[in-house]
């Protein structure tokens, strides 16, 4: 096993003058590098091409002989294939029953039109990527019909235009999806509706001019709604009914008939921009058990939030799943390095080899048997941004005493660790799964492979996938 000098950080509790305090002690230690996200990482097997201009055939899905219809391309595909659709207008009702990547040539020029009959695109398979389409003109005969209907899990719906449907994007019993970077407008009922759908991420969308609600959460919990523009919707900006434990944060919720309303549930509202500058907390009116109640955005943004469409990472462990937003807009070098490694499957089956309760969990460099794994991309320079701090749940790069030595190892902060700011490259934060972090950080540890704080029972990184790259 290789050994080199690193920067280690320990924490110890001392009692001074009758008061407890935490002192950070910086030590030089020998051992492993420690601290002081569907663009998921699947390998797509084959690309099948579709072009509505190929009227006369032949059709075999090659670039020379593309299929004329999207559904024909999907029917010919296998799981993990890519369907690439050239610009054109496709009058279809598409059913996606395979785990594929469905990509349009351009979101404004690759148009799927439901011809006002039923759904436009229906996703029944898990782990589907849908990107770069205009999806329009679903039927309106049923309030359940969506331009994009999803009745499966772990899908990525990014960078689409969704116009003139009954419901723009409709999730039904659908969990762990990412809806990001879409423009969703002029739909007959709601822009986005979740029904019995949990733990989804809705971020970076422009949701406006929908007839009923911009975003409607019904019987759905654990969803993260952040960084959206929700404006000019004719009844509600966001409606939350019988849907507890959702986080609705840092959105611009403006110029709706009623910006927000809740019924029979408690949720977290924080940092949203509500029409104008506000010095005081913003009150959200609703009802619980038919009685008038209020929820509060205690820290409303004084100016419109900057809306960005960042990537996300999903870290699957043997103790549960953590979902993180990666701040590519502020930390591009660090995030790109992490995404490359994740897409290569580099992190699969590695462990969190250093775990310190109330401090960090660290992984990305060792297998459970102590074998070290080295990044094929080498080290990256230290990247710092003044607004990216080591808050609770922050993900950051581990390194040696050389500031520019970070490679693959990362750590996640169990609690706020401000003393690491400006010395280590934080580049994202947990948005779903903080309980998994807490449980992982509290496991019993020992000395293994001449390294301290190794869990007695391994905390395994089963996979890291990245989305919305």
Q: Map tokens 């434990």 to a residue.
A: 245
* pLDDT for res 140: 79
* pLDDT for res 467: 83
DSSP tally for the chain: helices H, then strands E: 3, 41
Q: Got the DSSP string for 332-392? A: HHHHHHHHHHHHTTTTTTEEEEEEETTTEEEEEEEETTS-B---TT--B-----TT----T
Q: Reduced to 3 DSSP states, what percent helix, strand and coil does the chain have, rounded to the nearest 5?
A: 5, 45, 50
Beta strands 178-180 and 201-203, pairing class: parallel
**Angle CA 353–429–271, to nearest 5:** 155
DSSP 76: H
DSSP 3-state assignment of 153? coil
- Evaluate the CA torsion angle 270, 272, 278, 279 in order and state its sign: positive
Residue 60: count of CB within 10 angstroms of its CB: 12
The answer for residues whose C-beta is within 8 angstroms of residue 17's C-beta and 6 or more apart is none
The alpha carbon torsion through 361, 366, 367, 372 (nearest 10 deg) reads -170
Between the two ends of the chain, the Cα-to-Cα distance in Å is 35
Helices (DSSP H) in 239-352: which residue ranges?
A: 332-343
Which residues, given as ranges, of the chain have pLDDT below 50? Answer: 1-44
The answer for residues whose C-beta is within 8 angstroms of residue 147's C-beta and 6 or more apart is 114, 119, 120, 121, 135, 136, 138, 162, 163, 164, 165, 166, 167, 168, 169, 170, 187
* pLDDT for res 468: 76
> How many Å apart are CA 108 and CA 233, to the nearest integer?
22
């Amino acid at each position: 096993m290789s050994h080199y000098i690193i920067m280690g950080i320990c924490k110890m509790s001392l009692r001074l003058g009758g008061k407890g305090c935490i002192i950070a002690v910086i030590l030089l230690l020998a051992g492993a590098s420690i601290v002081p996200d569907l663009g998921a990482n699947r390998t797509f097997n084959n690309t099948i091409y579709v072009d509505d201009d190929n009227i006369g055939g032949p059709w075999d899905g090659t670039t020379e002989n593309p299929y004329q219809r999207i559904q024909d391309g999907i029917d010919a595909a296998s799981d993990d294939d890519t369907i690439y659709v050239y610009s054109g207008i496709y009058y279809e009702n598409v059913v996606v029953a395979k785990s594929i990547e469905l990509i349009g040539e351009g979101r404004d020029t690759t148009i799927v039109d439901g011809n006002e009959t039923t759904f436009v695109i229906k996703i029944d398979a898990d782990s589907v990527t849908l990107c770069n389409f205009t999806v329009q003109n679903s039927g309106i005969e049923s309030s359940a019909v969506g331009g994009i209907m999803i009745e499966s899990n772990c899908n990525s719906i990014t960078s689409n235009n969704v116009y003139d449907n009954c419901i723009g994007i409709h999730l039904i019993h659908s969990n762990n999806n990412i809806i990001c970077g879409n423009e969703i407008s002029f739909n007959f009922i709601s822009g986005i509706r979740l029904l019995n759908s949990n733990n989804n991420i809705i971020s970076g969308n422009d949701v406006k001019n929908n007839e009923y609600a911009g975003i409607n959460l019904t019987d759905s919990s654990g969803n993260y709604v952040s960084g959206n523009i929700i404006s000019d919707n004719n009844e509600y900006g966001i409606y939350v009914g019988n849907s507890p434990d959702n986080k609705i944060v840092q959105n611009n919720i403006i110029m709706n008939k009623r910006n927000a309303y809740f019924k029979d549930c408690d949720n977290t509202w924080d940092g949203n921009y509500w029409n104008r500058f506000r010095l005081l907390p913003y009150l959200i009116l609703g009802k619980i058990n038919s009685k008038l109640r209020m929820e509060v955005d205690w820290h409303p943004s004084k100016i419109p939030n900057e809306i960005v469409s960042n990537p996300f990472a999903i870290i699957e462990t043997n103790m549960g799943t953590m979902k993180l937003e990666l701040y590519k807009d502020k930390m591009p070098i660090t995030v790109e390095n992490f995404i490359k490694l994740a897409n290569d499957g580099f992190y699969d089956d590695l462990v969190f080899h250093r775990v310190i309760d109330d401090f960090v969990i660290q992984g990305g460099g060792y297998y459970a048997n102590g074998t070290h794994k080295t990044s094929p991309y080498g080290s990256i320079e230290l990247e710092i941004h003044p607004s990216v701090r080591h808050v609770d749940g922050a993900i950051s790069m581990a390194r040696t005493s050389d500031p520019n030595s970070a490679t693959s190892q990362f750590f996640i902060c169990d609690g706020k660790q401000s003393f690491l700011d400006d010395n280590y490259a934080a580049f994202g934060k947990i948005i779903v799964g903080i309980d998994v972090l807490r449980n992982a950080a509290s496991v019993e540890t020992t000395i293994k492979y001449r390294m301290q704080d190794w869990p007695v029972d391994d905390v395994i990184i089963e996979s890291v996938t990245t989305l919305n790259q």
